[in-house]
């Protein structure tokens, strides 16, 4: 945490930060976020690949048609992203998480009753997807970004790791239910779980530490000169950018390019991951077990990189992670043994760590005040790619009966993402803008 200056009764005094005594409420925010994503988020985002083949067989669909449901939901998220981001910044994460998670639960219960492709797509897009747009990562990363600054990388990583731990257990369990009782029963159980277990976790959410007389990370601001008043609850030294300012910077578009490249590949591969592993001669349950094990072994990597990223450049860590991920996809195309395929999957685990660091970068570059809105503006960009790539991967397989082109192209795009993240630099305000802000602060006015 950087040092800050504070004016008290007309005298300039220097402030420093120390840890507050007692439990910091931000850890409750982290716990609720981790459980929300570990239970609900993992089932929603990673469960689709488990249902992929059973849904296709049950409804008589091609792989491109099956992937279309997921792709259209991403298109919906892209359209809704700026609006839902504004809502989270405007009203806080709690009400949107409660309403969104309940809507997701209702959607899965409705999904279990569908018998046609049209109904499946309509429910998945206009009920489940709309609810999910505010229920999981969008809201929880906003809350964590508000409550942590110095530990931002670590807490984002822990939130992401919880998502993977949940996937490690939920994906194989979901596969057992799907294979034994059918995807319809699995969808019903998921819906009930969302309403009964996940939605109540939103009650722990709070908007910001300043509203409760605290600072991010549990710090207390002290004044070094004797007799000075406490300034606990004032802003940190981190600079907040307005939305109009952020979208005029080069950094915003470089960040957007890196996000689009990484998510277009990661999303397509995860939608098709079990079909890819089956194509490599794994059984459906064996493929689900490998996906769960991948999530589990990714956890220590995600936490370690999150901790390191609070000390060194997040951009360089992301670049390295996507070089490894691209290498993993290319190797997966050429290896045939189960052990070889899983070792290639371990390299792909680098992309699992990328999510937490990517969203931490949004806070690093543009601050806390408009985090959800800026993150939401990125949504149409990466969701446009996610609309195309899963369907394209399915179409390629339908035409060639092979995922070779998908894996090789994905590896190349990951290498491109590594280059983009490596080149990302923090935005800098011009001199006139800085002078205006200093003058405004001197007059106790908000710039």
Pair 150, 310: CB distance under 8 Å: yes
Residue carrying the six token digits 């609070």: 310
Place 289 in a pLDDT band, splitting at 50, 70 and 90: confident
Q: Give the H/E segment covering residue 8.
A: strand 4-8
Residue 270 host element (H or E): helix 250-271
Q: Is the pLDDT of residue 434 over 80?
A: no
Average pLDDT over residues 75-102: 87
- Tokens 């220590």 correspond to what residue? 300
- What CA–CA distance (Å, rounded) separates 99 from 24? 27
- Between these two residues, 293 and 104, which has the higher pLDDT value? 104
How many beta carbons lie within 10 A of that of residue 1, not counting itself? 16
**Contact assessment for residue 376 and residue 82, using Cβ atoms and an 8 Å cutoff:** yes
- Alpha-carbon span 437 to 447, nearest angstrom: 5
3-state SS, residue 224: coil
205-241: per-residue pLDDT in tens? Answer: 998 898 888 889 888 764 444 444 333 333 445 688 9
Beta-bridge mates of residue 17: 221
**pLDDT tens for residues 188-198?**
999 999 999 99
Percent of the chain with pLDDT over 90: 45
- Domain architecture of the chain: domains with CATH: 26-207+239-423 (1.20.1250.20)
pLDDT for 317-351, tens place per residue?
999 999 999 999 999 999 988 889 989 988 988 88
Cα separation values, 274 from 112, 176, 271, 284, 402, Å: 21, 14, 8, 7, 14
Tokens 């006015």 -> residue:
445
- CA–CA distances in Å: residue 34 to residues 176, 201, 384, 437: 24, 10, 27, 37
Helix (H, G, I), strand (E, B) or coil at 196: helix
User: Alpha-carbon distance 240 to 249, whole Å?
Assistant: 14
| pLDDT given at position 85 | 87
pLDDT at 433: 56
Q: What is the pLDDT of residues 133-158, one digit of tens each?
A: 888 888 899 999 999 999 999 999 99
Nearest 10 degrees: Cα torsion 112, 118, 121, 123: -50
């Amino acid at each position: 945490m950087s040092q800050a200056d504070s004016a008290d009764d007309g005298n300039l005094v220097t402030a420093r930060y120390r840890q507050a005594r007692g439990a910091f409420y931000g850890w409750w925010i982290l716990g609720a976020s981790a459980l929300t994503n570990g239970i609900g988020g993992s089932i929603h985002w990673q469960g689709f690949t488990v249902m992929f083949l059973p849904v296709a067989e049950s409804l008589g669909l091609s792989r491109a048609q099956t992937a279309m449901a997921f792709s259209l939901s991403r298109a919906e998220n892209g359209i809704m992203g700026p609006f839902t981001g504004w809502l989270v910044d405007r009203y806080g994460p709690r009400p949107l998480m409660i309403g969104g998670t309940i809507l997701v639960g209702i959607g899965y219960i409705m999904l279990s009753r569908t018998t046609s492709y049209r109904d499946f797509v309509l429910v998945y897009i206009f009920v489940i997807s709309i609810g999910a747009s505010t229920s999981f990562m969008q809201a929880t990363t906003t809350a964590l970004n508000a409550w942590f600054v110095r530990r931002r990388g670590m807490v984002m990583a822990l939130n992401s790791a919880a998502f993977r731990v949940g996937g490690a257990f939920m994906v194989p369990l979901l596969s057992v239910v799907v294979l034994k009782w059918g995807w319809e029963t699995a969808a019903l159980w998921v819906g009930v779980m969302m309403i009964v277990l996940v939605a109540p976790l939103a009650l722990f959410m709070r908007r910001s530490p300043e509203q409760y007389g605290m600072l991010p990370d549990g710090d207390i601001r002290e004044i070094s000169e004797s007799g000075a008043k406490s300034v606990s609850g004032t802003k940190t030294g981190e600079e907040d950018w307005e939305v109009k300012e952020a979208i005029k910077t080069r950094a915003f578009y470089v960040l957007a390019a890196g996000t689009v490249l990484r998510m277009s590949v990661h999303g397509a591969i995860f939608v098709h991951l079990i079909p890819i592993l089956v194509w490599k001669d794994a059984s459906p349950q064996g493929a689900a077990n490998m996906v769960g094990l991948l999530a589990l072994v990714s956890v220590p990597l995600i936490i370690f990189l999150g901790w390191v990223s609070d000390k060194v450049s997040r951009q360089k860590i992301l670049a390295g992670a996507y070089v490894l991920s691209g290498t993993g996809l290319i190797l997966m195309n050429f290896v045939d043994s189960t052990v070889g395929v899983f070792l290639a999957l371990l390299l792909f685990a680098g992309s699992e760590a990328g999510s937490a660091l990517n969203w931490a970068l949004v806070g690093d570059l543009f601050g806390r005040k408009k985090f959800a809105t800026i993150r939401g503006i990125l949504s149409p960009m990466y969701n446009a790619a996610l609309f195309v790539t899963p369907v394209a991967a399915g179409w390629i397989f339908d035409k060639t009966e092979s995922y070779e082109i998908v894996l090789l192209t994905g590896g190349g795009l990951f290498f491109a993402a590594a280059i983009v993240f490596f080149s990302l630099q923090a935005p800098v305000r011009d001199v006139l803008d800085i002078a205006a802000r200093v003058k405004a602060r001197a007059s106790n006015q908000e710039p």
